[in-house]
Amino acid sequence: MDRIKFSYRKVSVVILLFIIVLPSCTFIKLLTTRIENPTFTYKGFELVDVSESRTNVNFKFLAYNPNEAGIKNVICSYELFVEGKKLLTGIDIPLNLAPKGETEIKVPATIAYKDLVPVLAQVMRMIMTGQKTLSVTIETVFSGKPALYSIGGRENPISFETRLTGTASIPLPVGRK
CATH number of the domain that residue 166 is part of? 2.60.40.10
12 and 88 co-located in one domain: no
Please indicate, yes or no, if residue 176 is contained in any of the structural domains: no
- The answer to whether the predicted template modeling score (pTM) of the entire model surpasses 0.85 is no
- The DSSP result for 76-142, as a single string, is EEEEEEETTEEEEEEEEEEEEE-TTEEEEEEEEEEEEGGGGGGGHHHHHHHHHTT--EEEEEEEEEE
What type of residue sits at position 46? E
SS3 29: helix
Which pLDDT score is estimated for 69?
A: 79
107 and 126 co-located in one domain: yes
Split into its structural domains, the chain has a count of 2
Q: What is the pLDDT of residues 28-50, one digit of tens each?
A: 555 555 678 899 999 998 989 88
Backbone region of residue 168 per phi and psi (left: phi > 0; alpha: psi in -120 to 50; beta: other values): beta
Please indicate, yes or no, if residue 65 is contained in any of the structural domains: yes
Nearest 10 degrees: Cα torsion 118, 121, 122, 124? 120
121 and 81 co-located in one domain: yes
Which pLDDT score is estimated for 23?
A: 59
Which pLDDT score is estimated for 22?
A: 59
Please indicate, yes or no, if residue 111 is contained in any of the structural domains: yes
16 and 55 co-located in one domain: no
Please indicate, yes or no, if residue 19 is contained in any of the structural domains: yes
13 and 67 co-located in one domain: no
Instruction: Print the domain residue range for 8.
Output: 1-32
94 and 124 co-located in one domain: yes
What type of residue sits at position 75? I
Half-sphere exposure of 1 (CA within 13 A, CB side): 0
Phi, psi for 59 (deg, rounded to 5): -85, 130
74 and 123 co-located in one domain: yes
Please indicate, yes or no, if residue 157 is contained in any of the structural domains: yes
Residue 149 pLDDT > 50: no
